[in-house]
Amino acid sequence: MNSGPVTHILSSLQFDTDTLYTLFELADRIRKISKSKDGLDFLRTILSHKRAVLYFAQPSTRTYLSFNNACQILGIQTSDMRSAATSSEVKGESIEDTLETMHSYTDMIIIRHSEDDIAEKAAWMFNRSDKPIPIINAGSGPVEHPTQALLDAYTIHRAFKGKIKNKTIAIIGDLRRGRTVRSLTYLLKNFPGIRFNYVSPAELALPADVKNYLQKHEIAFEESDNLDKAVRKSDIIYSTRIQDEYDQHHESLAIDYTKFYLKKSHLALLKKDSIIMHPLPRRNEIPAEIDADSRAWYWKQEINGLWMRTAIISHIFKEDGYILNYR
């Protein structure tokens, strides 16, 4: 029986380098253990006494599926709410009462929501209850997506065989409203010598709070709208979709986002050991003809999400040692 304070996953700001390397090792280990039937049987017993609810009030394919499958790997029983439209919130129930109800029935809440601070609110509510339970932020409005950043960092760790230091990453696209952009920036602060090339249309430039964060931590960064230059200079190309679901008046229609699409011709500019990433879903930011290039890592990145999210849940329930000691 493990005890101690409940661990929530609320923001990329909460992680230090040691915890990140523990999660990387755990994810690698779980991936390996799961290759055998005995290993899978072992993993399935670890949290078979737990229940979780996945409340996704915004659309999702891979975050939902990877968390659901991560729970299954660890034996956790799950319940779904895939839309606020199926919640009694449509009958006028408050989000607080909805969270209270999820808390009544389960041992963990995994939540994606358009409001920025629902995960923090839930953590705050239940920390003071007689049954504190972990809360995982699976994407909060245009602000944060910490578990995406964890799987992104894990992907970089694997691609560069553990050598994340002194890398240059180009983050391209909707930097203003892309929650993965803020979360990944915060997380990569843990790796010395990281440099950022932010590439975007002026209307979708990096928000002031993220720039302040970079300046405060003396992290080198450049901003431009020059995609070709960023592709030539960077070790990691991180492309993102325009987040037009946050438009107020269809303002994205006035932006020429095609200038920020990777094209097959960019492969000739890209260094031979660089990698291309994308949190997905994509539209036209990366054409499918790039998928076959060995430097295209976005499908591996997506698979890494399953192992990283299984590691995150194991870590939250303090099962790291039990898994790492499995032989």
Note the residues at the interface with ligand CP (CB under 6 A).
Answer: 60-64, 139, 148, 279-281
Q: How far is the CB of 241 from ligand CP (least distance, A)?
A: 9
3-state secondary structure 169-204: EEEECCCCCCHHHHHHHHHHCCCCCCEEEEECCHHH
Work out the burial of residue 12: count CB atoms within 10 Å of its CB; fewer than 13 is exposed, 13-18 middle, 19 or more buried: buried
Residue placing its CB nearer to ligand CP in the complex, 142 or 279: 279
Q: How far is the CB of 139 from ligand CP (least distance, A)?
A: 6
Q: Is 167 helix (H, G, I), strand (E, B) or coil?
A: coil
Q: CA 94 → CA 37, 97, 99, 101, 121, distances in Å? A: 44, 5, 9, 11, 13
Cis before 281? omega within 30: yes
Q: What are phi and psi of 208, to 5 degrees?
A: -60, -35
Token pair belonging to 25: 């090792």
Residue placing its CB nearer to ligand CP in the complex, 24 or 67: 67
Q: How far is the CB of 110 from ligand CP (least distance, A)?
A: 11
Residue placing its CB nearer to ligand CP in the complex, 139 or 146: 139
Token pair belonging to 225: 């709208």
Residue placing its CB nearer to ligand CP in the complex, 64 or 317: 64
Q: How far is the CB of 322 from ligand CP (least distance, A)?
A: 29
Which residues make Cβ contacts (< 8 Å) with residue 165, sequence separation at least 6?
A: 191, 192, 193, 194
Read off the amino acid at residue 184.
Answer: L
Residue placing its CB nearer to ligand CP in the complex, 245 or 247: 245
Q: How far is the CB of 212 from ligand CP (least distance, A)?
A: 25
Q: How far is the CB of 268 from ligand CP (least distance, A)?
A: 28
Q: Is 295 helix (H, G, I), strand (E, B) or coil?
A: coil
Residue placing its CB nearer to ligand CP in the complex, 152 or 235: 152
Token pair belonging to 138: 């699976």
Residue placing its CB nearer to ligand CP in the complex, 64 or 126: 64
Q: How far is the CB of 155 from ligand CP (least distance, A)?
A: 12
Task: State the residue number with the nearest CB to ligand CP.
Answer: 63
Q: Is 233 helix (H, G, I), strand (E, B) or coil?
A: helix
Work out the burial of residue 46: count CB atoms within 10 Å of its CB; fewer than 13 is exposed, 13-18 middle, 19 or more buried: buried
Q: How far is the CB of 2 from ligand CP (least distance, A)?
A: 29
Residue placing its CB nearer to ligand CP in the complex, 151 or 262: 151
